[in-house]
Structure 1
Amino acid sequence: MKPRNAPQIIPKIILVIGAALLVGCAGTRAPVTQQVDVPVAVSCVKSDKVPAKPVYEFDKLTAESSDGAKVLALANDWPRARKYEGELEAVIAGCK
């Protein structure tokens, strides 16, 4: 036994359910402000603390320079390079 008015009720029920679903989606929420912590790379070395690169004698030599001149230039540049290296390491040590 089927009720006679079932074909007339089903579309109405679907319409009521559809309207209820649409009304539920009609409301809007107020935007919520959130704080997000994002790591940003920041240089710990200040440009005024970085020592100036020394001018090395070896860089001034030409390709035709004698072996003796090259060895002397390297020997003269060695202490200057070690001093520059020490200054750079001191600046970098401040980042730890």
Structure 2
Amino acid sequence: MSRKRVVMLDQEEDIISYEHHIQGRFVRILVGHGAIMPDGSFSASIEQNYENIMIQDEAYDSLLSENDTKPQGVFRKEDLWEFVDIVRANIIA
């Protein structure tokens, strides 16, 4: 007798950590896949490989540039997603 298998896919992702190295002029981002829990916390999938993203060179300068919502020389966690998407698009291309 056979049965249908139910597979639970974790469809959310979050920036697990990031490191801003001022002297080296880069930001290293660690992206994990998992699920957003009812309390709003992020729970990473068990036994996954995390995605490592580097922002450096012109992208680093762009991240730290002034815009309508922030002064020059700073960034927020949510600002990093734009660069994650750019790196992913470049990998696919």
Settle same-fold status: TM greater than 0.5: no
Higher RCO (CA-CA < 8 Å; seq separation 6+): 1
TM-score, with normalisation over the residues of structure 1? Answer: 0.21
* Greater share of strand: 2
* Greater share of helix: 1
